[in-house]
A and B are shown apart, each in its own frame.
Chain A
Amino acid sequence: MAEPATVSTAAAPIDGAAAADSPAIHTVDLSKRFGKTVALAGLSMTVPRGEIFGFLGPNGAGKTTSVKLLLGLLRPTSGEAWLLGERIGDLGTRRRIGYLPELFRYQAWLDAREVLALHCELAPLPRSTWKEEIKAALNTVGLSDRADDRVSTYSKGMQQRLGLAAALLGKPELVFLDEPTSALDPVGRHDVREIIRGLSARGTAVFLNSHLLSEVEQVCDRVAVVDHGRVIASGTMDELLSGTAVRVRVSGLDEAARARLEPFGPLDDEGEHLTFTKLDVERVPELVSTIVGLGGRVYEVQPRHQTLEDRFLQLLHEDES
Chain B
Amino acid sequence: MPPVLVFARLTVQEASRRRLLLALLILTLLVVGFSAWGFNKITTVTRSDGTPLPPEQVTLITSQLLIVVTFMYSGVLALSAAVVAGPLISSEVESGLLLSMLARPVRRSEVVIGKWLGLAVLVTLYAAGSAFLELTAVNLATGYLPPHPIQLVAYVAAEGLALLSLGLVLSTRLSGITGGVIALVAWLMAWIAGVVGDIGTGLQNPALQNVGTVSHLVLPTDGLWRGAIYAMEPDVILTALRAAGTAGRANPFSAVDPPPAAFLAWVVVWFGLMLALSIWSFRTREI
Contacts and interface: CB of A to CB of B under 8 A. Distances in A.
A122 B104 contact: yes
Interface residues of B, number: 22
Contacts of A72: 103
A163 interface: yes
Contact of B96 (A75, A91, A105, A123): A105
Interface in B73-123: 95-97, 99-107
B10 A104 contact: no
Interface stretch (A20-28, A93-101, A287-295): A93-101
Contact of B103 (A99, A103, A106, A118): A99
B265 interface: no
A73 B102 contact: yes
Given A73-B286, A74-B286, A109 B14 contact: yes
A219 to B, nearest CB: 22
A119 interface: yes
B96 A121 contact: no
Nearest to B92: A105
Contact of B101 (A75, A97, A109, A122): A122
Contact of B100 (A95, A109, A124, A163): A163
Interface string A171-191: 000001000000000000000
B286 A71 contact: no
B3 interface: yes
B262 interface: no
A92 B99 CA distance: 17
A242 interface: no
B95 A105 contact: yes
A68 B287 contact: yes
B97 A107 contact: yes
A100 B103 CA distance: 10
A64 to B, nearest CB: 10
A313 B96 CA distance: 31
A100 B105 CA distance: 15
B3 to A, nearest CB: 6
Nearest to A109: B17
* Residue from the set A106, A118, A119 with the largest chain B CB neighbour count within 10 Å: A118
Interface of A: 68, 71-75, 91-92, 94-95, 97, 99-107, 109-110, 118-119, 121-124, 163, 166-167, 176
